[in-house]
Structure formats: structure tokens, C-alpha cells
Amino acid sequence: MSELRVIVVGGGLAGLAAAVRIAEAGLPVDLFSVVPVKRSHSVCAQGGINACNEVARQQGYSEYEHFDETIYGGDFLADQHPVLEMANWAPRIIDLLDRMGVPFNRTSEGYRDLRLFGGSLFKRTHFAGATTGQQLIYALDEQVRRYESEGKVTKYEFWEFLAPVLCDGRCVGIVAQDMRTMQTRAFRADAVVMATGGCGLVFGKSTNSIICNGAAAARCFRAGAHYGNPEMIQVHPTAIPGADKLRLMSESARGEGGRVWVPRRRGDTRAPRDIAEADRFYFLEEKYPAYGNIVPRDIATREIFDICVNQGMGVSGENQVYLDLTHKDPDYLTRKLGGILEIYEKFVGEDPRYTPMKIFPAVHYSMGGLWTTYTPGSYAPAAPRTKHKSGSAPPLNAAIGQGMQPGALNNAMTNIQGLYAFGEVSFAYHGANRLGANALLSCIFDGLFCGSSVVNYVRSEGVSARPASGMQPGAFDAAAEGQVKAGAALLATATDAPGDKATNPYVIGKELGDEMTAACTVVRTEARLKQCLVKLAELKDRYAKVQLSDGAGWSNQAFGYARAVGDMLAIAEAIAKGAEVRKESRGAHYRTDFPDRNDAEFTKTTLASYDATSGAASISLVPIDASLIVPTARTYGKKDTEKPEAKAQPAGAV
Amino acid sequence: MTTTDHAARAAARRSAKPGRKVLIRVKRCEGPGKPSRFETFAVTIERGANIISCLQQIAANPVTVEGTRTTPVVWDSGCLEEVCGACTMIINGKVRQSCSCLIDEYAPAEGDVITLEPMSKFPVVRDLWVDRSRMFHNLKRLRAWVPIDGTYSLGAGPRESPDAQEARYKLSTCMTCGCCLDACPQFLLAESPASWDTSFVGAQAFGQALLFNSHSTGAQLKNDRLEVLMGPGGVVDCGNAQNCVKVCPKEIPLTEAIASLGRAVTIRGFTRFFTS
């Protein structure tokens, strides 16, 4: 009998959790990653992972409230049933990670310690030092290594996913390339799980790792997979500008009294300490006397952006403002903020206890991603409920299966049969804005819960009767051949001559990042988005004539980068078009020309599809599952009415 | 880091001017078995520049200081915030992560030179990119995991004191970068995987063995791990040079881990002698 097997692409939290679950069920797993899986971007998550816990429960918290917070935080854009299931599952995930040996911080009695995080009145965030993501991925990496040593998981590290192989309307494998030998070949599988993370690199510099270019998602998109809510990109207000990337600076710096300011006079070149109080513009404090520096995150992001980009008042004429803690006692700062101040010191080389930090908002997370389906669970209220009153009794117990039907074949499946999307690369769960410490949860939940769906799908009658291993080689050969040809054509553009800047992939990539950051991040308008689409068309034309500076057939990174630029252009177009179509403001998406949320027209998923003939993305709007909670204005109890309330975000959401 | 280091770094940063040119001298190699050569690039330094941003600048316009067109430098990188371990290389003779290496501190003046070489104890793939799969292989050898009963819901893990958690957390921040191995006189380059199982495992593996032996479920495999560490390439091969602990970017107490495992191996040896 032919063997059934599964391919997992991506070795971050979602991919590793999927590999563990699927291998445990007895199906062989081939795990592909562009880096050794232990170095995936999940290592960068710091804050923690949310779950209802016994302490919070006894104070009135519940899985239902976690669900409610996540829907509200996402500004009512997420399909609701999957979020309910995720919240119900969360406590089990923490227990499992605990059993795997994650060194969660402990109370004096030896229980798991908890911290308060944005979007909740209860302590529901579990953490391991200041590197929770790193600790979680290491625990899953170790479990995968165990299966690897038993021969149940085969790793293909430094292999890059190029395309899904489709046959008779099913995904039956992938084409991938070894980044060292540059060998390209097809691999067969009865299901393929994409767990390839976000697309920060589309914006040039972001808080993401260098590998988060969205290329794998783009390659599925171009093969016919739909992409949901591409315009929903979370921008974090405080990151450390760097020459290579933007590193996150935790919001706790403002929580501990940090003041945001710029010199009142444009082009003031004095050192910050030489600028008198009267010459400093504490713009958040002046504009928002009630909240000051701790205005909700999206407001802080927009104001800092406005000061620098629109008014040109950034420090030294650049996109940066001061985040100043120097008025506080240095010992106090060390005690309260030691870890994050160390990061700043390490990468900027200045001690924030004595010199104001320079910060600017940065692209941080993509709520949008490959569009997926699911089978709703058993909970079906006659009418959607009103917002849950914090701390009150939950309307239902947290039994498994109320949100999504466990093991249903289509859970987390894209519109391509047999092609699944887990973790950040999926559009599910976070709606228009992700709450802090919910990302790690959604990755592991997908891997474990939807991993079972993959197993059931592969073993279902229609698939197991026609396994990929028994199929004619035609489709696999053709798919591999196509990629080999495209690769050879790209490699053949290599030249020793001083290349034209217009067709230099690095220059195109840089211009793409600059354009997307200017048009598609904090503030969006119809006119600017249209201009952005014109620029993208120009870049696409130039990209068609791209020229490499390295023609080597061995470990050629310039080649890999140039190929990814083409994919980033496809995602960029979907983002810009989604933002143009969504004529409202919701969560991370803010349109100055449409500053309010428009539930009647836009409580809908923006669905991007790729037209292979024209090479263009088109957007349609599809209804969402809002059958459990009625949308309400997202105010976080704010009394102040001079600001558009529907767009407020919780302090502390990451 | 010592106070003098700190002061020297600060002084260098204060004197460094953005817009200056520094020279990045890179050891190049086109692939396994190919000869190495040095190429030097002049790079314009912007504020906040690190080795990564310099290599990015070179990639966009790969022209040496002599004006010769060449290929972009190949190197490994990931998170760029010193938590993934990928971008480790030898910078001015010392092994470290290149993302946290600030140009203002290493080359504060116009025309200063920084030399980049690949790690010396791992086979070169191309230029500064090396193959560190041996480190992951050693984790398999040492069964560096907690043998759980599966992923189904079975309640919480064992309770743990804050002290024990802190000790494990420190060991668990190891990002498999390989600095400790590159600096170790006993850990040698082994091109062929055939020799890995009998070669010195090095400090990284010792730290991880201790991490899992310190967890109550992980300790189920303690004797298996000690057996490996009693064999060839185990603790007795450590020459006590203590370089590992000096170069570890996460300040993991590696020499303490080695000492602790040395004691455990001795006890295990006695037990085995008297019970067999």
C-alpha cells in the first residue's frame, strides 16, 4: 500500500506544532524551512501567551471573556466561531507547553506566574522571562527533534518553498529548492500545511525577521489561493529605528512615565539635553491632556507619524521622535525596565537612563493572510449576544467543539483542497487588530487543533484511495520543470557589468518598502493608495527586466532575494487594493477620508484573488460569521469624546 | 562586560561621525573545496549601522575598494536582534553575532577596517555562511527533550520553584549560535558527519544536557545522556580552557554546567561499576 504523508512548510510555532500533532497521529511529515527551524521568527515574541487560568477564573474571568476580548480587540472583523474555539483551547495549550518543559516564570509557591496585558482587566498572560516566543519554539523544536530521531519527521532545512503542486483540484505536493545546492524538485504529499508567517519585508524595514517576506504565501496566492484582509497590518508605535531593521520597544516604557517629544523648531540640531523645556513639543501631552503619553496604541502611532511625515518635525529631520525616561531615577528604571533598556543600549549604544531614546512606529504583524474555511461548532445562539460584561458569569461552559467542530476536514483549509494555512500566514482569529499575547496562542492552536483536521483529511476516503505517491508523475514533473525554467531564466540575467539601478533587485525592493511604508501603514487615503498602485505597476515593469549581480549556481542569495521581490510585489498589490476598497476605518486600517467604522458595508472580509492571465489582484467583499456577538463601538471605556472612539485600542496590546 | 570596555565603547560612539566611510574586509569562498580570498569594500556609515546593514549595502552594489565588480557577500541571518543565533561570524578575530556589532564601536574613524571571517569550526557553505547542523545533531545524540506522553490534555506539568525556573531559563536561552564551540580549543572542525558521534560535543551540548536533566520529566532520560557524555567526545575531553563562557553572548554558565555534568558522570560511573 502506498504511504500517505504530509508536508509542513515553515518551522515556527505553527509549523512545529502541526508537525508534532501529525507525526503523533502516525503520518510521516516532511518539514520544510528556509532556516534551521530553531531560528524561525517566533523567537522574537517577547510578551507572553494568553489563556484563562484558575486564578483569573476565580476572580470572574472565563474562556468566554477571552473570546469576547479578542473579537472586540479585532474590531469585529474576525469570523467568530474559530475565535471561540481558540479561547476555549488556550488553557490546554499552556498545560501542554508546561509539560514540555517551557520555563514559565513561577510564583513563590511554584505555580505559573501571570502578568497583565493589553485588552484585559485580568491577569491572563503566561510568560517565560523576556523571551516567551523563543522558549515556546524551543520546546516544540525539541519535540520535533524527538520525532525526527524516530524517523517520523524528515527536515528539509535551508529549502525554499516555490509552489504548490495541484492535480485534479487537489494540492498533492510542493516544488522546493535547496538554497545551498540550488537543486529544484517536486515533493509529493497528500496534504500541505503552510505555516510561513508574516510579510513585514514588504514594508522594507519592520520588526520582523529578515526571512518574513511573505513569498511563500504569495506563491500560494498566485497559484489560486485566496488572501483575506491583506490591508490589515499592525503598526506598533514604538520601535527602535535601525539601519537594518526596526526593533520593538515595549509599551511599558511609556507606562513607566516615558514622555514623547520633538524639538519645537524644525532642524534643531542641539543634543536633547541642551534643549530647554520650553523648546520641547510634548505633542501627545498637549493634544491629549487626559491620556498624555499613554493614549491608545493606534492614536500614538498616528500622531508620531503625523509629526514626522506630514509636519517634518522628526528629530534631526528624520522619522524619529524622542521617548524620554531621563527624568526618572536611573535605579528605578533599572528595576522596572532593565531588560528592554538593555536591548536599546545593545543596539543603539546609548543608555536610555541618561539619553532619550529615539523611536518610530514600525510594521509589526499581519492580521491578514491566506483565506481559510472551517466547520462551526455546536454553539448556535438564537441571536448574537451583546458584549460580555467583564467578570460576569459566562453564558456557556468552555467545552471543546462549541466554536469549531474538532477534526472537521476543512478547518484552516484554504480554497484549494488539501492546502492548509496555520499561524500568522492565515487570516483567521485577529480580525482588524491583534491583541498582545494572542499570536503565540493562535499559532499553536492551529498546529494542534487544525493539525487533527489535516490527519482526518489525509485519511478520508477520497484522498487515501488516491494517494499522491501513486499518482502519475506528469503533474509533479511539469511543476518542477516550470520552476527550474523560471529559475534558470532569472539566473541568466546575471551580469558583471555595472547594472542599471532601475533593474537592480535590491533597489526595487528598497523602493517597494519605502512606498508601502509611506502609503499603506498608519494613515491611508484614496489618493495616496491610487498613487501607490501606480508606483507598484512601475516597479512590476522594472522587475520584469530585473538583473542579478551573481550568476553562481551554488548558494546564491542574490538569486533568492530577487525571486522573492516578485512575490512581495504581488502581496503589496493585494494590500494596497484591499486598503483602497475598504472605505472605512477599522482597527489597524485608518482612512482619513473615511474616519469611521462602517458596519453596514464593511463588516466583511476583503478577499483578494489573483488573476494568472493579467497578473493582477482583484478584491471582493465576503460576509463574515458574526453570529455570536453583536458589534459595538470599540471605546475601552474612554470618556473623552473629542477623538474618534471606535478606533481606540487597548493600552499594552502588542 | 567590564567597565573599561563599556567606557571604550561609549568613547568610540561619541567620536564616530555618520557619513564616514569604513572598510569592510571580507573573507570570501565560493564553496566547499574552493580557495579563499579577501575582498575589501568601502561602506558609507549611517546612524545605527551594524555589520548587517553594511553587508546589505554591499549586496546592492558589490564593488570592491579597487573598483572591481564582484558578487554580493553570502551570509546567514535571521532575527537581527540577537535571539536566533544565525548571523554568528568572526569579527576582527572574535566570534560573535554580527547584528549586535555596531560599526560606531568597531570602526569609529574614517577609513577604519573591520574584518569578517566565517566561523572556523564549521564547514563553509559559501563566504560567511557555515553549516552548523552538527550542533543540532548533538542535540539528537543527547536526547535533548522532555519525553512527554503526547499532546493530548493531561493537565499541568510539574510545579517548580522560582530558583529552579531561573536556572533552567538561563540554560534555555541558548540559541545554538556556536560561539562557545568556535572558541573552544578541544572542539575541532569535522567536515564529515561520520566522525560527529565520536568527536567532542562541546559546551553547547553540555548546557542542554544539564537543562533537560534539571527538569523532573526530562530527567527520565538522564542516564542515557550521561552515558553519551561518559563516552568518546564527552566531558573528559574538556580541556578547561574556559573560553566558552567568555564568548557566550547570553552569559550562560557553561563552565558550571560542565562541572556539574562531570560530577554526575563520575557518580554514574561508580553506580554502573557496582551494579553491573
Q: Which amino acid is at A196?
A: T
A590-618 burial code (b ≥16 CB/10 A, e <16): bbeebeebebeebbbbbbbbbeeeeebbe
- Is the dihedral angle over the CA atoms A190, A195, A200, A205 positive or is it negative? negative
Strands A604-611 and A616-623: antiparallel
Q: Is A355 on the interface with B (CB under 8 A)?
A: no
- Residues B186, B171: Cα–Cα separation, whole Å: 21
Identify residue A494 by its one-letter amino acid code.
A
**A297 noted as active-site residue:** yes
Task: Of A56, A46, A87, A94, give the one whose Cα is nearest residue A70.
Answer: A87
- Asked whether residue A557 carries a pLDDT value surpassing 50, the answer given is yes
Note whether B208 and B174 are within 8 A (CB): yes
- Residues 232..271 of B with a Cβ closer than 8 Å to A: which? none
Q: Are strands A6-9 and A191-194 parallel, antiparallel or unpaired?
A: parallel
Q: Are the beta carbons of B243 and B183 closer than 8 angstroms? A: yes
User: Of chain A residues 476-505, which have a CB less than 8 A from chain B?
Assistant: 496-498, 504
Q: What is the pLDDT of residue A170?
A: 96
Instruction: Tell me which architecture the domain covering A239-363 has in CATH.
Output: Alpha-Beta Complex (3.90)
- Residue B59 in contact with residue B112, Cβ under 8 Å? no
Candidate from A70-74, A631-635, B97-101 with smallest mean pLDDT? A631-635
The pLDDT of residue B5 = 78
Predicted local confidence at residue A332, as pLDDT: 82
Cβ distance B84 to A552 less than 8 Å, yes or no, reads: no
Residue B273: pLDDT band by 50, 70, 90 thresholds? confident
Which cell numbers in the block locate residue A305? 507619524
Give the pLDDT confidence score for residue A339 in this predicted structure: 73
For B159, the 3-state DSSP assignment is: coil
Sequence spans of domains, chain B: 3-129, 132-275
Q: Which fold has domain A474-607?
A: Methane Monooxygenase Hydroxylase; Chain G, domain 1 (1.20.58)
Measured distance CA(A99)–CA(A110) in Å, rounded: 14
Q: What CA–CA distance (Å, rounded) separates A271 from A255?
A: 25
Q: How confident is the model at residue A2 (pLDDT cuts 50, 70, 90)?
A: low
Segment A488-502 shows an average pLDDT of 91
Name, in order, each residue with C-beta under 8 angstroms of A474's C-beta and a sequence gap of 6 or more: none
pLDDT in the model for residue A654: 40
User: Nearest Cα to A56, choosing from A46, A69, A43?
Assistant: A69
> Measuring CA to CA, which residue among A423, A498, A501, A445 is closest to residue A196?
A423
What letter would DSSP give residue A653? Answer: -
Task: Reply yes or no on whether the pLDDT at B1 is more than 70.
Answer: no
Q: Is A360 exposed, middle or buried (0-12, 13-18, 19+ CB in 10 A)?
A: buried
Do β-strands A357-366 and A321-324 pair in parallel, antiparallel, or remain unpaired? antiparallel
What does the alpha-carbon distance between residue A445 and residue A93 come to, in Å, rounded to a whole number?
7
Angle CA B109–B113–B114, to nearest 5: 115
pLDDT tens digits, A87-140: 999 999 999 999 999 999 999 999 999 988 777 888 999 999 878 999 999 999
What is the reported pLDDT for B4? 67
The mean per-residue pLDDT over the stretch A558-585 comes to 98
Type of residue at A288: Y
Residue A20 clears pLDDT 60, i.e. is over it: yes
Q: Which helix (H) or strand (E) holds A235?
A: strand A233-240
Per CB-CB distance under 8 Å, the chain B contacts of A108 are 162
Homologous superfamily, domain B132-275: Alpha-helical ferredoxin (1.10.1060.10)
pLDDT-derived band of residue A612, with 50, 70 and 90 as boundaries?
Answer: very high
Bridge partners (DSSP) of residue B40 are B25
- B247-262: average pLDDT: 96
> What residues in A contact B100, CB-CB < 8 Å?
346-347
Q: Is pLDDT above 80 for A291?
A: no
**Residue linked to cell 492551529:** A446
CB pairs under 8 A between A and B: 206
Pick the CATH number of B3-129 from 3.30.300.20, 3.50.50.60, 3.10.20.30, 3.90.1150.10: 3.10.20.30
Determine whether A141 is exposed, middle or buried from the number of CB atoms within 10 Å of its CB (0-12, 13-18, 19+): buried
Maximum distance among all alpha carbons in chain A?
Answer: 81
Q: Residues A305-348: pLDDT tens digits?
A: 989 988 999 999 888 999 999 999 998 887 767 777 888 988 98
Q: Do domains A6-232+367-470 and A239-363 have the same CATH topology?
A: no
- Mean residue pLDDT of chain A comes to 93
Question: Is pLDDT above 70 for A643?
Answer: no
What is the distance between the alpha carbons of residues A594 and A585, in angstroms, rounded to a whole number?
6
Task: Give pLDDT tens digits for B22-59.
Answer: 999 999 999 999 999 999 999 999 988 999 999 999 99
The span from the CA of B110 to the CA of A422, in Å, is: 49
For chain A, how many residues are written? 654
Nearest to B171 by CA among B127, B133, B134, B218: B218
Give contacts of A448 with chain B, Cβ < 8 Å. 151
Is A306 exposed, middle or buried, given 0-12, 13-18 or 19+ CB atoms closer than 10 A? middle
Task: Report the share of chain A in percent with pLDDT over 90.
Answer: 82
Closest by CA to A199, choosing from A512, A617, A464, is: A512
The answer to whether residue A640 scores a pLDDT higher than 80 is no
Q: Hey, is the C-beta of B52 within 8 angstroms of any chain A C-beta? A: yes
CB under 8 Å to A72, separation ≥6 — which residues?
A: A119, A387, A629, A632, A634
Spatial neighbors of B177 by CB under 8 A, at least 6 apart, are: B85, B86, B88, B97, B249
Chain A nearest CA to B139, separation (Å)? 8
Question: Mind listing the pLDDT tens digit for each residue in A381-431?
Answer: 999 999 999 999 999 999 999 999 999 999 999 999 999 999 999 999 999
Q: DSSP assignment of A384-427, as one string?
A: PBPPPPTTSPPSS---TTSSB-TT-TTTTB-SSBTEEE-GGGB-
Enter the C-alpha cell of residue B84: 536566533
Contact B50, B98 (CB under 8 A): yes
Residue spans of beta strands (DSSP E) within chain B: 21-29, 36-44, 88-91, 94-97, 113-117, 124-126, 129-130
- Burial of residue B19 (number of CB atoms within 10 Å: 0-12, 13-18, 19+): exposed
**pLDDT value of position A1:** 44
Check residue A636 and give left, alpha or beta (phi > 0: left; psi -120 to 50: alpha). Answer: left
Contacts of A99 (CB under 8 A, 6+ apart): B146, B148, B154, B156, B157, B217
| Yes or no, beta carbons of B217 and A101 under 8 Å apart | yes
Its ipTM equals 0.97
Residue A644 has pLDDT above 50, yes or no: no
Amino acid sitting at position A207: T
Helix (H, G, I), strand (E, B) or coil at A432: coil
In chain B, residues with a C-beta closer than 8 Å to the C-beta of A145 are 136, 139-140, 144-145
Q: Is residue A650's pLDDT more than 50?
A: no
Answer whether A558 sits within 8 Å of B85, measured CB to CB.
no
Cβ of A555 within 8 Å of Cβ of B161? The answer is no
The answer, yes or no, to whether residue A646 has pLDDT greater than 50, is no
The predicted structure's pLDDT at residue A310? 86
Contacts of A96 in chain B (CB under 8 A): 148, 151, 153
Domain-by-domain residue ranges, chain A? 6-232+367-470, 239-363, 474-607
Residue-level pLDDT at A253: 82
Query: Residues B118, B37: contact at Cβ < 8 Å?
Result: no
Helix, strand, or coil (residue B22): strand
State residue A234 phi and psi, 5-degree precision: -85, 130
Residue pair A362/A248 in contact by the 8 Å Cβ criterion: yes
| Mean pLDDT confidence for A9-14 | 98
Pick A142's closest partner by Cβ from B105, B146, B168: B146
pLDDT tier at A635 (50, 70, 90 boundaries)?
confident
CA dist., res. A6 & res. A489, Å (int)? 31
Question: Which pLDDT value is given to residue A296?
Answer: 65
Q: Identify which of B59, B136, B154 has the shortest CB distance to residue A558.
A: B59
**Planar angle of CA A198, A199, A203, nearest 5 degrees:** 145
Rounded CA separation A29/A422 (Å): 15
Per-residue pLDDT tens for B161-211?
A: 999 999 999 999 999 999 999 999 999 999 899 999 999 999 999 999 999
Question: A191-194 and A419-421: which strand pairing?
Answer: parallel
Q: Quick one: average pLDDT of B98-116?
A: 96
**DSSP-derived pairing of the beta strands A369-370 and A184-188:** unpaired
pLDDT at residue A498 in the model: 76
**Residues sharing a CB contact under 8 Å with residue A335, sequence separation 6 or more, in sequence order:** none
Query: Which of A170, A219, A247, A297 is an active site residue?
Result: A297
- A-chain residues near B225 (CB < 8 A): none
Cα–Cα distance, A252 to A266 (Å, whole number): 29
C-alpha to C-alpha distance for B216 and A236, rounded to whole angstroms: 39
State pLDDT tens for residues A187-232.
Answer: 999 999 999 999 999 999 999 999 999 999 999 999 999 999 999 9
Nearest Cα to Cα of residue A226 among A646, A620, A650 = A620
CATH number corresponding to A6-232+367-470: 3.50.50.60
pLDDT at A300: 86
Q: Write out residues 95-154 of B within 8 Å (CB-CB) of A.
A: 99-100, 102, 104-105, 125-126, 129, 132-133, 136, 139-140, 143-148, 150-151, 153-154
Q: Each residue of A447-480: pLDDT tens digit? A: 999 999 999 999 999 999 999 999 999 999 999 9
| Residues 407-466 (A) with a CB less than 8 A from some CB of B | 448
Over residues A504-545, the pLDDT tens digits come to 999 999 999 999 999 999 989 999 999 999 999 999 999 999
Is B46 exposed, middle or buried, given 0-12, 13-18 or 19+ CB atoms closer than 10 A?
middle
With cut-offs at 50, 70 and 90, classify the pLDDT of residue A638. Answer: low
A556: cell is 546564491
Q: What is the largest CA-CA distance in chain B?
A: 72
